[in-house]
Structure 1
Amino acid sequence: MADFGEILETIGDFGLFQKLLLFALCFPNLIVPFQLSSLVFNHADTNHHCNTDWILQVGPNLTKEEQLNLTLPRLPDGSFSPCEMYVPVVWDLSAIREYGLNETTTCTDGWVHNDTIYEATIVTDFDLVCGNTNLFRGAQTIFLAGVLVGAVLFGPFSESFGRKRATQIPMVLMLIFTVVTGLSPNFYVYLASQFIVGVSLGGFRINSIILATEWIGVAQRSYAACLSQVLAALGQVVFLAVVYYIRDWRMDQFIMAGPLAFVVIYIWFIPESARWLLVRGRTTDAKEVIQKAAAINKRTVPDSLVEKVLNEKPIEREGIKILFASRVLRKYFLTITFAWCALNLAYYSLSLNVGKFGLDIFLNQLVFGASEIPVHFLCMWSLETVGRKASLMGALIVGGSLCLLTLAVPQSNYIAIAALATCGRFLMNGAGSVCNVYIQELFPTSIRQTATGLGSTAARAASMLSPVVNMLEIYHFTIPTLVFGSLALASGITAFLLPETRRTELPGSTEEAEGTRQPKMTNPGPGDCEDINTTKL
């Protein structure tokens, strides 16, 4: 679709139409991070112990401290055991005090949660402690599995039914099941609703970026991915403010639903991708939306130019087969997917461990969220200045090295570890923005969504593994960091195999994507001659 670039130049490749569309598609990213951040706060552990109110039947006037001293064993560090209690007896209080209790058992009457930070979390509401401790890790995995399924489902859906529908339907699902999550009567309903929220998140994120990208010219193409990430980072900070003042997880879910309802209302008025319409042979619809875009941008588009593109033979729908049949496209796909998987594993492993860096969980989250805002502006500059390839390699190699460097710092030095982890996460997030831009420029229109969907699916699978990787710390605290840090470093090195795509038109055919036919250059800048030679591998 190189000729579509000519139409974009004529109607305005970043006019009012594109800016309104970009805002409409990026604004939900201010809310979407609430879902991921809620995994950290809604699942927060508590200072719990077994419920031993049985002793109050023989000693109703016991103080809380006396009750715990008589009924709970102590750990070697002197604290009360959170998961064991003394076996209840039918003695009177004086006998219990004189002889003491020695036989222990697991908690038989539930738990008492003494957390002073939160009013309610899923840990306190569903007793996800002791033998059920890993269930909330499972809940994180279920959510991330939903994100993976969303990428799988809405990738082919977007190719068949359009980018527009593939962004609208996920937002409706997210609104409905965010409310259902807040109303969950038990843990299993919570898991099911969170899975569907994950599905909707995975579907929306990838398709909204593609829809915006296909309407924007080459000079501002990175805006769609980077600005959505900026708002996502800002969303983490906004959510932190919400959860700081309202520390009830159910109420936080209902607060999330408010702005989602606003998005669901306006999302039905966004336009379809003209590129997709042309690929599908829907020339009448494509002409209508092109003219609408020109009118909003206060431009006129010559009928001859429109007819030239509309009369062009629709590109063959090659599908997934060509992606793996082409040696060049296969190499690109495997390389960019490896990078996407590695950075997602590192990013989510660090994100879900935000409370374990020794500092206050709210302070850690504030640092993590605020630090991500400038990284995406830096990304936009880097993508257009040094290019896609150097940006991706630099972010992954330096970020992976910083993660590994946390292992060389004494574990008691919380500030240094938090600083290194924040910088590593900072760069992984930036690498994610680069991948979102890069993968769309590597593949032709007919398989762009398929390649992006498959790559996103693999990346979501990696993020789904992050809670499992974090659980490896039970064997040694260094294992999780060694795993995701080494993979990030390796993927940064292998990214050398990718071509540079800066300031080139989106490829419309397999030949253009493979570099056997040079994509059209628009508004070339300094150093673009070098980019042309790099593209032809």
Structure 2
Amino acid sequence: MLFKTVVQSSGHSEITDINMAEFGEILQNIGEFGLFQKLILVALCGPNFIQNFLLASLVFIQSDPERHCNTDWILQADPNLTTDEQLNLTLPREEDGTFSRCQMFVPVDWDIGDIREYGLNETTGCHNGWVYGNSLYEATIVTDFDLVCDKANLVEVTQAVFLGGAVVGVLIFGPFAESFGRKRATQASAVLGFIFCVTTALCPNVYLYMASQFLVGLGIGGYRVNCIILVTEWIGPSKRSWGACVTLLCAAIGQCVLAGVAYAIRHWRLTQLITAVPLAVLASYIWFIPESARWLLSRGRKEEAKQLIVKAATINKRTVPDSLLEKIVINDAVQKGGIEILFRSSILTRYFFIVVLAWFSVNLAILSLYFNMETFGLSIFLTQLLFGAIEIPANLFAMWLLEVFGRRISSISPLLAGGLASVLLLAVPEGHAIAFTSLAVAARFFLIWAGSVTAVFTQELFPTSVRQSATALGSMSGRLGGLLAPLLNILSIYHWSIPTTVLSSLTLISGALCFLLPETRRKELPESTEEAENNRNVTSTKTESLKQESTKL
């Protein structure tokens, strides 16, 4: 392909034509999906297996466990009191005759005879914590940090804080990757996630817990978006969807395993420490992952890119013709200016807002249902297993149908189907747990499918100079949707149908808007705004001729 380079010399511009070997043509020669790419895919996407384990302390909780105020103060007056006597003397009763969960009688410095004779009447809140009983778990953040009564809403706040960290992580590490490289952004976020995953398990109070969880979210949010981009930029068009889809597939398998781990351990701190082990392994080898050659070329680091290309070819047992390496030049035609490029083009701006809404609505719906699954009526462990198991075929479907029907139809169909399944939840009568859970699982199937397609679609719509930033902002909008999910669930106190109505409406709207997106199946990643706007196909005769030349050599 020919492009024009403007060379500044002696105060005037000289225009020259230079042959450029595009990176897509290079991949055709070194292998679009050889051993080199597979190793990177496993090394970077595999650790997403434990991503949902980070949500264990936020999901596997009982928001309103059986409890009463700790009233051991009265044992100083008579240490031989039975439990029933202690509760009768120190706790007021509700209208239904049960002991109050949030009130106790004010402690007094009387002997036990006076307390029995005169009784206690003045009430107060629980001064010395709570005593919990009949819990599904040995310990949760609710029981460890006493997130009940006037602190009950902090459960939703902790969920929002973690997801808020993920939003900030994408916002920070997306532009960071554009400036300092995909590799460094992936390394920094992986190490950050590991360190604060450990500190989270050791937090003594809810406020330190929230601060630590925010930083975990920051690291994990940055890692996920950058690992997908780094993998994708090394894979050719025929298998490009694997980067995002394998990441989500690993997360789906992790969902299933999480149900078993939480059922067996039932202690959030231990689960958190178990989660840190794979992150420690990741932090140990992340330094050996290669940088994206596409990014190196976009930054003018031609020799480093050449070395990685030769290394990739060697691992794939392919040979790179010297004539092809000599044609690699720096594409100065790629615009500078960062994310502003998106908004200088009306077409790219339209694409951007459509995919941003898709990310947002899908994640809002997925996490709103996920954080609310303890209310479905079935065992939370069974629901977790179903939610994880349904993600596996959803991601496999996405990987297959992306290549069969293309990106556009594969995006529209699951969004509309997921929105419709969510709407039908409103028609399920109260008490029909199996029907409600079945519909919720069906909705999750389509939403996960839609999320996989959106992650792939976003990377293929935008040029290299802003691909990372556009994907990061799209992912950030998804994280923002997740951040608002627990807050949306709070609106159910006004009417139970509000959360479902909002999430299903947004999903249906985003599905309809996807009709305005172009098809990008088996087309080379665009390098400039013009190529992105024209959505050109680089499976050209030149590529074929280069393949023939490589075969002859």
With normalisation by structure 1, the TM-score equals 0.93
Tell me: CA distance 1:265–1:490, structure 2 relative to 1, closer, same or farther (3 Å).
Answer: same
Q: Partners in 1 of 2:62 and 2:185 — Cα distance? A: 30
Deviation (angstroms), 1:59: 4.5
Q: Partners in 2 of 1:491 and 1:225 — Cα distance? A: 20
Q: Partners in 2 of 1:75 and 1:426 — Cα distance? A: 43
**Number of positions where the alignment pairs a residue of Structure 1 with one of Structure 2:** 522
> Deviation digits for residues 108-161 of structure 1, max 9, x if unmatched?
332112243211122222111111111121111111110000001001110011
Tell me: CA distance 1:505–1:2, structure 2 relative to 1, closer, same or farther (3 Å).
Answer: farther
> Deviation digits for residues 479-505 of structure 1, max 9, x if unmatched?
111111111111111111111111111
Rg bigger for which structure? Answer: 2
Task: Map 1:279-428 onto structure 2 (within 5 A).
Answer: 279-310=298-329, 312-313=331-332, 315-428=334-447
Matched-pair contact (CA < 8 Å) for 1:2–1:520: no
Matched-pair contact (CA < 8 Å) for 1:22–1:212: yes
Q: Partners in 2 of 1:68 and 1:399 — Cα distance? A: 50
Task: Map 1:208-219 onto structure 2 (within 5 A).
Answer: 208-219=227-238
Q: Which moved more, 1:59-68 or 1:238-247?
A: 59-68
Q: Partners in 2 of 1:462 and 1:343 — Cα distance? A: 8
Unpaired stretches in structure 2, ≥5 consecutive residues: 1-19, 542-553
Matched-pair contact (CA < 8 Å) for 2:56–2:262: no
Tell me: CA distance 1:406–1:60, structure 2 relative to 1, closer, same or farther (3 Å).
Answer: same
Tell me: CA distance 1:348–1:2, structure 2 relative to 1, closer, same or farther (3 Å).
Answer: farther
Q: Partners in 2 of 1:518 and 1:144 — Cα distance? A: 37
Tell me: CA distance 1:184–1:90, structure 2 relative to 1, closer, same or farther (3 Å).
Answer: closer
The one of 74, 85, 88 equivalent to 1:55 is 74
Q: Partners in 2 of 1:188 and 1:347 — Cα distance? A: 27
Question: Match of 2:37?
Answer: 18
Matched-pair contact (CA < 8 Å) for 2:335–2:341: no
> Deviation digits for residues 332-366 of structure 1, max 9, x if unmatched?
00011011101111111111112121111111111
Matched-pair contact (CA < 8 Å) for 2:67–2:133: yes
Question: Match of 2:538?
Answer: 520
Tell me the secondary structure at the aligned position of residue 327 of structure 2.
Answer: helix
Task: Map 1:478-497 onto structure 2 (within 5 A).
Answer: 478-497=497-516
Question: Match of 1:530?
Answer: none
Q: Partners in 1 of 2:77 and 2:160 — Cα distance? A: 45
Deviation (angstroms), 1:399: 0.8
Task: Map 1:461-500 onto structure 2 (within 5 A).
Answer: 461-500=480-519
Deviation (angstroms), 1:76: 4.2
Q: Partners in 1 of 2:243 and 2:55 — Cα distance? A: 21
Task: Map 1:83-482 onto structure 2 (within 5 A).
Answer: 83-89=102-108, 101-310=120-329, 312-313=331-332, 315-482=334-501
Matched-pair contact (CA < 8 Å) for 1:150–1:201: yes
The one of 78, 82, 91 equivalent to 2:101 is 82
Q: Partners in 2 of 1:64 and 1:361 — Cα distance? A: 31
Deviation (angstroms), 1:55: 3.3
Matched-pair contact (CA < 8 Å) for 2:422–2:439: yes
Tell me: CA distance 1:78–1:417, structure 2 relative to 1, closer, same or farther (3 Å).
Answer: farther
Matched-pair contact (CA < 8 Å) for 2:185–2:222: yes
Amino acid at match of 2:369: L
Deviation (angstroms), 1:58: 4.1
Tell me the secondary structure at the aligned position of residue 32 of structure 1.
Answer: helix
Amino acid at match of 2:147: L
Deviation (angstroms), 1:3: 2.0
Tell me: CA distance 1:261–1:70, structure 2 relative to 1, closer, same or farther (3 Å).
Answer: same
Matched-pair contact (CA < 8 Å) for 1:287–1:310: no
Amino acid at match of 2:171: V
Q: Partners in 2 of 1:159 and 1:191 — Cα distance? A: 29
Deviation (angstroms), 1:41: 2.0
Deviation (angstroms), 1:44: 5.3
Is 1:32 the counterpart of 2:45 in the alignment?
Answer: no
Deviation (angstroms), 1:321: 1.3
Q: Partners in 1 of 2:21 and 2:512 — Cα distance? A: 31
Q: Partners in 2 of 1:497 and 1:139 — Cα distance? A: 37
Matched-pair contact (CA < 8 Å) for 2:21–2:327: no
Unpaired stretches in structure 1, ≥5 consecutive residues: 524-537
Amino acid at match of 1:397: L
Matched-pair contact (CA < 8 Å) for 1:37–1:236: no
Deviation (angstroms), 1:92: 5.8
Amino acid at match of 1:174: G
Matched-pair contact (CA < 8 Å) for 1:55–1:67: yes
Deviation (angstroms), 1:262: 1.0
Q: Partners in 1 of 2:522 and 2:222 — Cα distance? A: 28
Matched-pair contact (CA < 8 Å) for 1:2–1:505: no
Tell me: CA distance 1:21–1:365, structure 2 relative to 1, closer, same or farther (3 Å).
Answer: same
Q: Which moved more, 1:415-424 or 1:238-247?
A: 238-247
Tell me the secondary structure at the aligned position of residue 319 of structure 1.
Answer: coil
Matched-pair contact (CA < 8 Å) for 1:280–1:314: no
Tell me: CA distance 1:152–1:55, structure 2 relative to 1, closer, same or farther (3 Å).
Answer: same
Amino acid at match of 2:340: K
Q: Which moved more, 1:82-91 or 1:122-131?
A: 82-91
Q: Which moved more, 1:48-57 or 1:279-288?
A: 48-57
Deviation (angstroms), 1:324: 0.8
Tell me: CA distance 1:522–1:257, structure 2 relative to 1, closer, same or farther (3 Å).
Answer: farther
Q: Which moved more, 1:198-207 or 1:474-483?
A: 474-483
Amino acid at match of 1:507: P
Amino acid at match of 1:500: E
Tell me: CA distance 1:398–1:254, structure 2 relative to 1, closer, same or farther (3 Å).
Answer: same
Deviation (angstroms), 1:235: 1.1
Matched-pair contact (CA < 8 Å) for 1:166–1:207: yes
Amino acid at match of 1:60: P
Q: Partners in 2 of 1:447 and 1:503 — Cα distance? A: 20
Amino acid at match of 1:162: G
> Deviation digits for residues 273-296 of structure 1, max 9, x if unmatched?
111111111100110000000000
Tell me the secondary structure at the aligned position of residue 131 of structure 1.
Answer: helix
> Deviation digits for residues 234-278 of structure 1, max 9, x if unmatched?
112222222222222222222111111111111111111111111
Question: Match of 1:527?
Answer: none
Question: Match of 2:551?
Answer: none
